[in-house]
Structure 1
Amino acid sequence: MSVNARHAVVFLVAISFGLSALSVPAETRLGIASLSLASGVAGFSLMAGAALLASRWRWLEAVFGGLDRVYQVHKWLGIWALVMASVHLAFKAGLSSWDVAPILSLPGDVTRLVRQLSFVALMLIVLLALNRKIPFSTWRWWHKLSGPFLLIVIAHWLSIKSPILLHSPAGWWLAGMATLGVLGAGWKLLLYPWLSSHADYRIVGVTPGQSAVRIELLPTGRAIAFRPGQFGFLVLQVEGLREPHPFTLAGAPDAEGRVVFMIRALGDHTRRLVAEAVPGMLAAVYAPFGKFERRANSTCEIWIAGGVGISPFLAWLDDAQASGLERVNLFYFHTPGRSFPAPHELAELTAARGVALTCIDSGPDSPAFADALTTIVRNAGAENVDIDFCGPAGLLHATRALL
């Protein structure tokens, strides 16, 4: 079982509230002041946790079930950090009966400034992260300030008068979370471009489609090792296209170290990438990431792809080492005029690998989809069917409802 956003938020908040309660007199633990104190500790912990998840460390994928899910948890940790910080700001986290002292003494005006800046910084991080209208190139640089902003929040914790001693359970908890958050942010900001798993490539082929493109790259030195279904961050060494974006590796590994990306123009960055990518361009690929893998020894497999979600399945079809493809049924949802690859091209590939293909251009409510899926599951037996899905949320919800 993988950890999801709810698990992570509840765990960090519960630990923060429990340890905060141990730091104040028992008779005050149910008061507003204790709520404010615990909310401050929880907000700090959630923010530090979000900074840790931003590191893209490989072990985090194993805990959360994939880097895409790590990003979902990262987003919700930030949102709930702002909620907890707002509660902390709204009420005074102190009583005259509490024995309080700062861990690090700063001048009073500096302490007040740090306290105010810590909330403003957290608010800016979350609001910028949720604003989809900001161009990605601008948003990325603003979001990089999350690491330095965390240092401001740490300074607030150390300088504010609090009943939490450094050598108390809550103090050790805050110190540990601060350390993890700073390590994660420091790695991502300072060391990631040099020490993370990546390799240099050159574009050798560009196949355009309707508002999409297929890019083939060959390594200029060593190649990255990956498995079909994984994804990587593509960085083109061209002014304006240097921001890393995640794309599924749409081909299987080969002797040349070739990597293939299927990219659809969905935003400002991808629109420019689709329009300007040409053979000869240099690039860096940071990979591999992802846990989208076929299960071995399945009696019946159903693959459901929507739009560019066909990419990981193309990699599975391209895998010369793959076996058991004759038991696969592939459903490809596409929009006429925007299909990439075109249905007839996909039909040739699936026929060569013995995969049964059903192309649907009428949406997830198509009777053809319902009838075909029902027939397959009935004939194989529900307990013998494995389903892999990659596509938009609407198609996922419709598929789950049908199942």
Structure 2
Amino acid sequence: MLPLPFIQTLSNGLPIVYQSEFRAIYYGTIAYVWMLFAIYLSTKPKWLDRLIGLPEMYMVHGMLSIAAIVLAYLHKEGTASTGWIKTTGDWSFDLFLGLMIYSLIFMAGWLTNRVPVLKKLKQLLEKIFKHELSIWIHRLNILAVILVFIHVQLISYIVAIKPFIYLFDVASAFVLGCYLFSKFVQPLTYEQGYLLANRTIAQNVQELKIKMPRSSHLDLLAGDYIFLSFPDYPGLREMHPFSIANAPDKTREITLAIRGDGDFTRQLTEVKPESMVKIDGGYGRYQEFLNDQPKSANIVILAGGIGVTPLLSTIDANLNRNLQIFYTAHKQADLLYLERFDQWQKYSNIGCHLQVGRFKDVQVLEQLPNDWQHNTIFLIGGPSSMMHHWVRFLKQHGAGNGQIYFEEFSW
């Protein structure tokens, strides 16, 4: 829908002499609008996060960017230009294409998790292209957009279409303003706390406890995740998302359980207590999803490995609800916070089922409440393959989309 006003104002003013290029020009216009929207989504607007969730926003961001590059290619092949018009257009397309390939390898887990060769290549190159460098390389998309903006401003017959060019300039200025605000102004509002403790709780898993000041105004809900950085540690200065493992309370303490999967997370073992930490949050929809459901609804938790982290805080915040918890890991040592499950098991309204290795479908099905298709909601956290398996299984047995929620960070 977003490109329609641009296409309408453009079509009303395009000279007939360029009729053979109309379709390609429209392709280029749609590509630019989609790329602007993708950049706006990269600013993590909180109003949209609480509405649809940041993982969905990232997915739209990634898919729109890829679709925009495809349309940009069709635009490039279907139009003729010379001089700086051609040069700026070619430069922007080449830059977008290169950044897309780089992002698919280093910043799109859905692809590398499915292609073993790419996963090995990523692990090899991560020694050079670390998290902070990848973030800065990704920001070159702004340069590519600026090149497109210049490209359009150089085309005299396009600039002559005043309604279109006004709309084009306003949209460009708005997105650029939002982006600059998110990078230079919003960081000034990040909350500042300090690290209380940093300990290893399982192989390759660190627990960080963070203390926030009395003046903190973090808007945290159970199941949320935060973006954090450690300004005093090179390599940890760019924001990175992590789920909270404890329900927010008056102690103003935040507990994180983090697996060392990348250079940023592996380096967390070096952070000393009392270190300053900057936090932006909260983000997420687990508790928002629960709040939208009837209070009488049963809750079933399906968790695997480190994916249990946001669900731990969700359980803590909903101990008065009827809960069935299924938690699995590859090894006994990978089952986290067993003492919390022991405590929850004492509640008459909570059932805990823990095991090494994935649950068989029938194991879960036998433990579900009667008439669960109409009175039960499901929260899922874990590896992508596990989450998608349970979503398919539940839907095959009668669950509706509105009964299931999970957050998948594949982009």
TM-score (normalised: structure 1)? 0.82
Rounded Cα–Cα distance in structure 2 between residues aligned with 1:173 and 1:131 = 35
CA distance in 2, matches of 1:314, 1:260: 11
Q: Does 1:135 align with 2:130?
A: yes
Within 5 Å, give how 1:36-185 maps onto structure 2.
36-63=24-51, 65-92=52-79, 109-132=83-106, 133=122, 134-163=129-158, 165-168=160-163, 170-185=164-179
Partner of 2:195: 203
Shift of the 52–384 alpha-carbon distance from structure 1 to 2, 3 Å rule, reads: same
**CA shift digits 1:192-247 (9 cap, x unpaired):** 2114xx31111112231211011111124522231111110011232222221101
Alignment RMSD (CA, Å): 2.5
**Secondary structure in structure 2 of the residue aligned to 1:141:** helix
Instruction: Figure out how many residues of one structure are paired with residues of the other and give that number.
Output: 365
Q: Displacement of 1:93 after TM fit?
A: 5.9
Q: Deviations over 1:59-85 (max 9, x none)?
A: 22245x012211111111211111111
The 2-side partners of 1:304 and 1:123 are apart by 39
User: How far did residue 111 of structure 1 move?
Assistant: 3.6
Q: Is the contact made by 1:129 and 1:143 (CA closer than 8 Å) also made in structure 2?
A: yes
Is the CA contact (8 Å cut-off) linking 2:131 and 2:235 kept in structure 1?
no
Identity across matched positions, percent:
20
* Alignment partner, residue 348 of structure 1: 342
User: Residue 353 of structure 2 corresponds to which residue in structure 1?
Assistant: 358
State whether residues 37 and 93 of structure 1, in contact with CA within 8 Å, keep that contact through their aligned partners in structure 2: no
Q: Distance in 2 between matches of 1:146 and 1:220?
A: 36
1:372 is aligned with what amino acid? V
Q: Distance in 2 between matches of 1:87 and 1:338?
A: 53
- 1:388 matched residue in structure 2: 379
If the length of structure 2 is used for normalisation, what is the TM-score? 0.81
Candidates 278, 285, 292, aligned match of 2:279: 285
Equivalent pair of 1:34/1:93 in contact (CA under 8 Å): no
User: Contact 1:247/1:261 (CA < 8 Å) preserved in 2?
Assistant: yes
- 1:213 equivalent to 2:206? Answer yes
User: Aligned partners of 2:27, 2:90: CA distance in 1, in Å?
Assistant: 16
Shift of 1:45: 0.6
Q: Secondary structure of the residue that 2:40 maps to in structure 1?
A: helix
Contact 2:247/2:314, CA 8 A, preserved across alignment: yes
1:269 aligns with 2:268: no
How far the C-alpha of 1:251 sits from its partner, in A, is 1.0
> Matches of 1:25 and 1:143 in 2, distance apart?
37
Query: What's 1:314 paired with?
Result: 312
Secondary structure of the corresponding residue to residue 162 of structure 2: coil
* Distance verdict in 2 for CA 1:255–1:164, change over 3 Å: same
Partner of 1:4: none
AA matched with 1:204: L
Partner Cα separation in structure 1 for residue 352 and residue 196 of structure 2? 30
1:324 aligns with 2:312: no
Higher relative contact order (CA 8 A, sep 6+): 2
**Unmatched 5+ residue regions in structure 1?**
1-10, 95-107
